[in-house]
Amino acid sequence: MLPKQLNPNAIVALKEALSQIYWYKRDLRSFLSNTLNNPAILGGINWDDYKWTIAERVVDTLIKHQNIALDDLLTLMSTVASMDDFSHLKRLENGDEKANNAKQAVLALRKYIAGHDTLINEKQKVEERKKEYAQKLEIIGSFQTKIEDLKKEFVELSMSRDHQVRGFKLEKLLKQAFELFDLDPKASFRIEGEQIDGAFTFDGVDYLFEAKWTDNLISADSLDSFSAKVSRKLDNTLGLFLSINGFSGDAVKAHSAGRKVLILMDGSELMAVFEGRIDLKDLLLRKRQHASRTGDIYIRIQDLL
């Protein structure tokens, strides 16, 4: 049964145009093979038949299997209707007549499918959505590969005892991570010993960033120094302090009182990001929300997941 959206006259015109646009059956077969996505449509065609019979059977097969071939039918109609060069026919005997017949057949098809623009446009939109989805999958795949690379590098750094090299590589790794999650570091990350400073903006909030990788827990003195830097900025500025090996209980308690300007993060949370257990942006948002609601600036990853 013919789809309700299609004009029966357009189907007849399509069959006629297919029989006219190419003189040799091998050329018609090549055109159809390159135009249709589903090769099974042409599987039962007898290419020794007359061209009109071939054209009729191809179109009838598309209609019969419209549940899987409607896209191909619409593609074939729009492709044939857009043809305007018939110079390949003019080179044949009585070429002008053959080219004119093909042109008139295509013009007839074009007239009948004029009312199908909405349907064809919808098909094109579907194809565009498919392409966008495929591109997203490709981006996701590339993203996952980069995350895996960062995780591998972080694990290797964890086994290094060369503090200077470890600090330098951590700087590079963190910058890559911030860029990967579109946090767009505003200032170049600067390394001083094993301390890294930087800045970024997320969710309308400006952040100063500092990271340390020491063998000991970060003390209150280190947080005091960083907090002073943040406090000298505008009120909309917060500080994110990353300590790979965590913070002392006294340091957390001291800076969870009064006005909170810091959010604390440790290496286990960074690993959770690299393992894909939590998105870096989601981690920051949830840490900030938790600190705003409870005053706790150092919620652990196990309490977030």
Residues 251 and 176 in one domain: yes
* Amino acid in the structure at residue 120: I
Segments forming the whole domain that contains residue 232: 162-304
153 occurs within a structural domain: no
127 occurs within a structural domain: no
User: Percentage of residues in the chain with pLDDT exceeding 90?
Assistant: 38
Domain count, the chain: 2
Range among 30-34, 36-40, 69-73, 143-147 rated most confident: 30-34
Residues 6+ apart with CB under 8 A from 151: 271, 274, 275
Residues 62 and 170 in one domain: no
Mean pLDDT over residues 2-28, rounded? 84
Mean pLDDT over residues 1-10, rounded? 65
CATH code of 196's domain? 3.40.1350.10
Dist CA 25 CA 42 (whole Å): 13
Domain end, chosen from 77, 112, 147, is at 112
Dist CA 62 CA 71 (whole Å): 9
Domain end, chosen from 112, 128, 144, is at 112
Which residues face 209 on adjacent strands? 198, 240
Which of 69-83, 127-141, 172-186 is predicted with the least confidence, judged by mean pLDDT?
A: 127-141
Which of 36-45, 66-75, 189-198, 278-287 is predicted with the least confidence, judged by mean pLDDT?
A: 189-198
Residues 23 and 106 in one domain: yes
Dist CA 201 CA 283 (whole Å): 15
Residues 6+ apart with CB under 8 A from 73: 6, 59, 62, 63, 66
Find the helix packing angle between 8-20 and 51-64, rounded to 10°: 140
**CA pseudo-torsion sign 284, 165, 169, 225:** positive
Residues 97 and 22 in one domain: yes
Domain end, chosen from 112, 134, 150, is at 112
